[in-house]
Amino acid sequence: MSNFVISVFGTDRPGIVASVSKALFESGCDVRDVSQTTLQTEFAGIFVVCAPESLDLAGLARKLEEDLIPYGLAVFVKPMGAGKADAHAGKSEPFVITAMGPDRLGLVAGITEVMAGFGVNIVNLKAIFRGGDDPRRNIMIYEVNIPYGLDQAEFRDALTRRAEELELDLSIQHRDIFEEINRI
């Protein structure tokens, strides 16, 4: 049995997940994880599947392309990485970093460069840029894992400095505060 990762992209409409899962079913693939999101008009889905031994990467890719390209969907298939899924678990703390401000080029690049430099892993990102100077129209929300042992003050300082350079209002807060306030 081989594990594959399948990414599917296309303009959102009813029936995309049904089309993909039908093709996978007909190929004998066992779906292990699925996640989808839509950004503006565009759908993106990622499927982790376990394929039968008789089906190789090229065969699976061919089958999916035959079934999905006619519906205007783009497909990308790759073998599953070898790393453990929970490689960071227990070694980091979850924080939420929010940044908002006037729109300009390089905001995500500027912020994420600092995160990468400190080994801070992004586990979820939602960014909306509608342009203009209204901060509420240009927002980035990063859910990140900050490794234990990292000098948090130094990380905060570096990130805050970068945010100031980019004219962003930035907050770094432990994830628990959002859960405590919003969820029972």
Cβ-based nearer residue to another protein, 71 or 118: 118
Alpha helices in the chain (DSSP H): 16-26, 57-68, 107-117, 152-165, 175-182
Cβ-based nearer residue to another protein, 62 or 171: 171
- Residue 178: CB minimum distance to another protein, A: 5
- Residue 21: CB minimum distance to another protein, A: 22
- Residue 29: CB minimum distance to another protein, A: 25
Cβ-based nearer residue to another protein, 107 or 172: 172
Sheet holding 121-129, edge to edge: 121-129, 138-147, 92-100, 169-174
Contacts of 154 (CB under 8 A, 6+ apart): 118
- Residue 39: CB minimum distance to another protein, A: 13
Binding residues (CB under 8 A) for another protein: these are 96, 98, 124, 126, 139, 141, 143, 152, 156, 171-183
> Cα–Cα–Cα angle for 90, 124, 100, nearest 5°?
120
Q: Are 96 and 159 in contact (CB under 8 A)?
A: no
